[in-house]
Chains A and B, each alone.
Chain A
Amino acid sequence: MRATYREAVRSALRTACRRDERVFLLGEDVGRYGGAYACSLGLLEEFGEARVRDTPLAESTFVGAAIGAAIGGMRPIVEIMTVNFSLLALDQIVNNAATLRHMSGGQISVPVVIRMATGGGRQLAAQHSHSLEGWYAHVPGLRVLAPGTVQDARDMLLAAIEEPDPVVVVEHQFLYPMEGDLDETAPPVSPWRALVRRAGKDLTIVAWGGSLPKALAAADVLAREGVDAEVIDLRCLRPIDFPTVLASVARTHRLVVVDEAWRTGSLAGEVVARVAEDALYDLDAPPMRVCSAEVPIPYAKHLEDAALPQVRQIVEAARRARGPRA
C-alpha cells in the first residue's frame, strides 16, 4: 500500500505497542497533540495515558527517565522534537545510556529507543535544522539508524525496539510527508546493513536519510549523461556497514559521499577515511564529499538551499570524480 513516511513511523509505534506491553511512548506533545510531526496521532486514544505520556519540557530528565525505565524492564520509545533539542539530553544519552552496559561489567542493559527529527529544508533556521547524528554515531554503546525510505521508517524502528542496547533513530524532517510503498507484512531487512538502492558501475554515491532521495535524483541526472551511478543507502550510522561500501568501490573505483552535516568532522569524512585505509588502491580518483556549508543553517529559502547539499552539487561532484572523459 501507499503511505507517507510519518504514517510508516506511526505504524511501527502502533505495532510495537500492540506486540509488547512493555513498550510505551513519551516525549513533548506525543499524547494529546499526536507528536510535533503527527507520528503518534491517535495512539493516546488507542493505548491510554499510561503508555503514551506527555512530558514536561525537560529533555534531559524525560530521556533519563526513559533510560531508567528501560533498565527497570520496560521498552520505552522517546521522541525528541529535533536533534537540536536532543543536545539538552546529551548528558543522559552519552554519559548514561551509552556507558551503562560497559561500565557495569555487562550487568545493565538499556533497551531504549530515542527518536528525533533531524535535518533542514523546511526554513526552520539554525536551532531546528541541523544534522548532528554524526555526534551520536561517534559514541560507542549507541546504535544509530537513519531510515531513508517509507518501508525503512517502519521496519528499522521496529528492529530498534528489539535491540537490547540504546538506539538513536534519526528521521529527516523533510521525509515525513514523502510517499512510498509500505508492506506491513514483508520480512524486514536487517537494519544494520547498508543497501544498494540503485546498481551502477561507474561511480558509488553513498547517502542516507534525507540525502538519499537527492542522491537517487542525482543518479537519474547522471544516467542521462551516460554515467551509471550506484547509490548506497548507508541506513545504519553506527555501526557502519563498511563491507558493502568497500565492495561497491571495488566495482566502481569512484566515490562520492553525501552528508547533510558540516564537512569538518563529518561522517562523510569517516566513510572516506575508511575507504582510504582499506581500499585506497581501488580508487581511480580522489573521493568527493558533498556536505552542508559551514554555517548555521539560515532561514531565508534561497540561503537555506545554498547551505544544504542539493542534487546539482552531487552531480557536479560526480562529474569531478569521473574526471575528463577519455
Chain B
Amino acid sequence: MTDVLLKTEAIYKEFSGVPVLKGIDLEIVRGEVLGIIGENGAGKSTLMKILGGIYTPTSGQISFEGRPVTIREPSDAKKLGISLIPQEFNLVKDLTVYDNIFLGSEIRQRNGLLDKKTMMARTKSLLEELEVTIRPDERIDRLSAAEKQMVEISKAVAMDAKLLIMDEPTTVLTQYEIDILYRLMHRLKRQGVTIIYISHKLKEVKAICDRVMVLRDGEVICLEPIDKLSIYQMAERMVGRELSQIFPKKERAGTEPVLTVQNLTVPGVLENISFELNKGEILGLAGLVGAGRTEVAETIMGIRKHTAGEIILNGARLEIASPEDAVAAGISYLSEDRQGSGILTGFNVVDNITLVSLRAYCDYAIDLINSKRQRAAAQQHVERFNIKTQGLDTRLEFLSGGNQQKVSLAKSIDPQPIVLIADEPTRGVDVSAKQEIYRFIKSLADMGLSCLFISSEQEEIVGMCHRVLVMKEGRMMGVLSGDEISEAEIMFLATGVRETETLHE
C-alpha cells in the first residue's frame, strides 16, 4: 500500500490554442524524490507552475492527500503545503535571512512592531536543524548562490511544506554546493518531505531521485524507478522522436572558412572555444541552458570582453570592442532575448528593421534619414519574410511574437552581414512561423551567408545544421557532422555522458 501525496489526472494545458500539456497522469508517493526530465519546451515548467498555482490547467483534476483540490493561485498551493523554488530566487536581496523567511507571515509583538528576536531565534533553530551555517541576520545579497538556495529551502520548510518542487536547482551551484544540497535533500526526505526535482542533468537525477518521469511534447513518455533506466536510456527517451518535415533539405555547404574563432576565453564563462565557420554553412551551437552558447555570441559581438583568443573574419584578425565594431566588420547578431535586447516595442516596423543599418539610409554630413529609401527597404523585408502587420508604421507592440521575431531577423540581416549569429531564432513562435524562419535562414545560407545557429531545441539543430558544436559549462564537448548529428548524440555530449574522441587528440 502506497501513500499517495499528490495525484494528477488528465491535466491539459493550452496557451492560446497551442497544447503544452496533453493529459498528464501522475502519482507522487509521500517521501519520495521524483525526477522530472525532458527537453526545453517539453512542459516540465508548465506542469510545475500548475502545481504551484501560477497557471491553472485548461482541464484535468488534481488531488492532494486523497482530496480533490483546485489550486488557483500561489497562496492556495502554500496553504496545501506545496512550495515551488523557481530557478530565479524569490528573495528580497536587501533584507536579512530571517526577514525573508518570515516575509508575508511576520511575527509581531503585542504593540504591532515586529518581533525580531523571536523570528531570529526561530530562523536560527531552523537553519541549525537543516545543518546550514548561515547567520540569520545576514543580508541576502551577501550570500552565495548555494546559500540563497538553502534559504529558499528553509523558507519552504518554515511553511511546513509537504511537497517541495525544485526547478533546475543546481544550475548556479558548484559541485561542493551541490553536495550540500544533496545532503539537505536526504535529510528532508527522512523528515517525510516529498520532493520533485526538475533537471537537465541526468547524472544528478540518477544520483538523487527514487523515480524518474520523462516528459516529451507535453506527454508522459515513461515513469519508472530510477534503477530501471540508465542515463543513456533517459537521454534516448527525452529526444526519441522522428524528425518532422518542417525542415528544408540541407544543401552542401562551402569549405572555405569565413569566420575562425581560436581559443576564445572569458574567465569563468568560456574556456578555449575554437571553431571554423565556412561559407554558406549553418554551424549549430548546442548545449543545455547555461552551457555558454549565448556567451560565445556575445563575446564575438564585443558585448563581453575576452582575455584570450582570436576572431578572424575572411583572413583578417578583428579587434571587436562593441557590437558597432562587429556589425561594421560584417557580423550580425539575432538576440535570444527578443524583448530585452532584440526589438524596440515602441518603434514601428520601419524604424526597427533599419535600426542596425541606419547609416546606409542617411544622406549628407548631418545624416539626414532618407525616409523613402528606408521605407522601400522595410517593405521588401515585410514581403520577403511575410511579416503580418497592419502597416509599416505599426508599432511592434501590436505584432504577434512570431512577426516580432521576423522583424528582429530582418533587422539583423538588413546590414547584409557576412556572418549571422542566430540565437534561439524560433523561441516563442508557433510552428508555421518556425518553418518560415528555417526557410529564410536556409535560403540566406544558400546565397553564401554563414550562420552560427544557437538553439536549445535539439530537433532544430539536427534539422538545420551542417555541423554541430556541443558545449557544456563554457567548454567545447565535441563537434558532430554529417550522419553523426542526432539528438541522442547531442544530448550525450551536452550532459557530459560522453565526449567525442576528436577532443582527446
Instruction: Report whether chain A binds chain B.
Output: no
Q: Which residues of A contact B (CB under 8 A)?
A: none
